[in-house]
Amino acid sequence: MVASMLVLGFDMTILNVALPTMAAQLGATTGQQQWMADAYVVVFAALMLPAGLLGDRFGRRRMLITGLGIFLVGSLVGSLAGSVEPVVAARAVMGIGGALVMPLALAVLPSLFAPAERGKAMGIVTAASALGMPLGPIIGGFLLNHFWWGSVFLINIPMVGIGIAACAFLLPETRDPASPKVDALSTALTAAGLGALIYAIIEAPNRGWGSPLVLAMLGGGAVLIAALVVRERRAARPMLDLKLLGHRPFLLNTLAATLVMFILSGLMFVLPPYLQAVLGNDAFGTGLRMLPLMGGLMVAAKGVAPLTVRFGARGVISAGLVVLACAALLGSRTDVGDGYGYTALWLALAGLGFGFAMVPAMTAALDTLPPDRAGSGSGLLMTVRQVGSAVGIALLGSLLAGVYADGLPAGAPHAAGDSVVAAHIVSAKTGDLPLLSAADSSYVHGMGVVLLVCCAAAAVTALLAAALLPKTESAGPAPGGVAPAAPDAGQ
């Protein structure tokens, strides 16, 4: 389980460091890079809930091994790809595998551990996923400096192989025959609707928001999502219990957690080209320079529990969002001539804001629900967070692409508009130094616009959280431990 979750953890971040290198070698545009990142997330979000039901009905060990096998095949295909399209397909296949592995890796723990040990086991498994996130940029950078870009996919194979062997020989089979059937139509509506919306957002900078195709995909996606909502609200046992969103504390905490994923995923997409192309770092140096962000997130995640006890979830979530807004504001003022020290400062602050906002928001969202709704609430929360991640990559990446292309000189080669990495390649071939300078300035300006949007979104959500989230009473340390926060009467 630890090996499986570790792979999923660093797979969340390893590709971000590889994208500039892949863009250079595959000739990928910004939109194609967005698809390489988003294909995994869209499929993962659409299939995670039905994947858990498949494990319940057909055997958790069997489906967990199947998921790991699918993830392995996707990784192998990605490592051997020679163009953008196979990489996108491989990432989608990996999303299918990841959707099976994530919920089932946690669902099998009760069959392996006694009740007294389950909490510790759950902590170790989830910590493995968290540990993988900061390892991703470092491992990815090292591999890219010494091997070809496909190695960032190939590194998954030995770890997944260990997971498959461990599941096959050590894991007992468990299932729940009374589990509801998988709702294939709702799954299809989720995948098609989300995919159509993401496609429209990614393609809009190139085709224009008034393009018939973009408008058709936006309209079609909206209709499919609306049909999903109607179907789920009428279902006796819905796959997505959307009625939970009518519970205000759950809705607001879910909104906060989703916004954090929206910003984090978008930032992880736009940051590596700045570090690698504009600041001139190699892949390994880029990975190392992303550590302040991951370090701040992990420090906050470790220290957030006592702060939540002391000040309540509302106070910590609001403060975390304010810190995130301030970090984004600082980042938006980045200039081409600024050194890495300034970037490290606002990245560390952003990491703290992410951790202080996301962890208590997720915990508080589930704590506000009755125990018998915790399972469906957790599934809805995880799905909505993944949707936020997919939309963050698509929307913020497209915003950056549009601002970047508009900022290039009128006579710039068409290829330079594909990405700042492409502009550097064109400049190196032609010796066009003014183009290089214009591309760097335009990219930094686009990143600044993206960060201003992130700042505004975080600030508005902080105000909503402070004004509308229920208050929890602070509590000082109790003898022998820490007292839990008690909800007030209004919660």
264 plus 172 within the same structural domain: no
45 plus 159 within the same structural domain: yes
Strand 477-478 to strand 472-473: parallel, antiparallel, or no bridges (unpaired)? unpaired
Residue 93 pLDDT? 94
Query: What does the DSSP assignment read for 19-64?
Result: HHHHHHHHT--HHHHHHHHHHHHHHHHHHHHHHHHHHHHH-HHHHH
Maximum average pLDDT range among 1-5, 113-117, 277-281: 277-281
The share of the chain scoring above pLDDT 70, in percent, equals 86
State which H helix or E strand residue 259 sits in: helix 248-273
> Which of 180, 195, 230 is where one domain is finished?
180
Residue 477 pLDDT? 40
200 plus 168 within the same structural domain: no
Q: Kindly report the pTM of this predicted structure.
A: 0.81
Cα 247 from Cα 252, distance rounded (Å): 9
Query: Of how many residues is the chain composed?
Result: 491
Question: The domain that contains 414 carries what CATH number?
Answer: 1.20.1250.20
Torsion angle (degrees, nearest 10) of CA 127, 129, 135, 140: 170
The share of the chain scoring above pLDDT 90, in percent, equals 19
The 3-state DSSP class for residue 478 equals: strand
In terms of residue numbers, what domain contains 207? 183-238
187 plus 176 within the same structural domain: no
269 plus 216 within the same structural domain: no
111 plus 214 within the same structural domain: no
121 plus 156 within the same structural domain: yes
| Residue 58 in this model has a pLDDT that exceeds 90 | no
> 15-49, pLDDT tens digit by residue?
888 888 888 888 888 888 888 888 888 888 888 77
263 plus 276 within the same structural domain: yes
| Residue 483 in this model has a pLDDT that exceeds 50 | no
Q: Taking all residues of the chain, what is their mean pLDDT, rounded to a whole number?
A: 82
301 plus 273 within the same structural domain: yes
Cα 430 from Cα 74, distance rounded (Å): 38
Residue 124 pLDDT? 64
> Which of 150, 180, 210 is where one domain is finished?
180
> 332-380, pLDDT tens digit by residue?
999 988 888 899 999 999 999 988 888 788 888 877 777 666 666 777 7
Give the number of other CB atoms < 10 A from CB of residue 216.
12
Let me know if 122 is exposed, middle or buried by CB neighbors in 10 A (0-12, 13-18, 19+). middle
150 plus 217 within the same structural domain: no
| Residue 6 in this model has a pLDDT that exceeds 80 | no
> Which of 211, 238, 265 is where one domain is finished?
238
Instruction: Tokens for 64, please give them.
Output: 């967990």
If one counts the domains in the chain, the total is: 3
Residue 87 pLDDT? 93
75 plus 133 within the same structural domain: yes
pLDDT confidence band for 488 (50 / 70 / 90): very low
Residue tagged 């079609």 (tokens): 220
Residue 479 pLDDT? 37
255 plus 315 within the same structural domain: yes
Cβ neighbours for 373, distance < 8 A, ≥ 6 positions apart: 241, 244
Residue 223 pLDDT? 95
Cβ neighbours for 410, distance < 8 A, ≥ 6 positions apart: none
pLDDT confidence band for 300 (50 / 70 / 90): confident
Cβ neighbours for 257, distance < 8 A, ≥ 6 positions apart: 357, 358, 361, 362, 365, 381, 385, 388
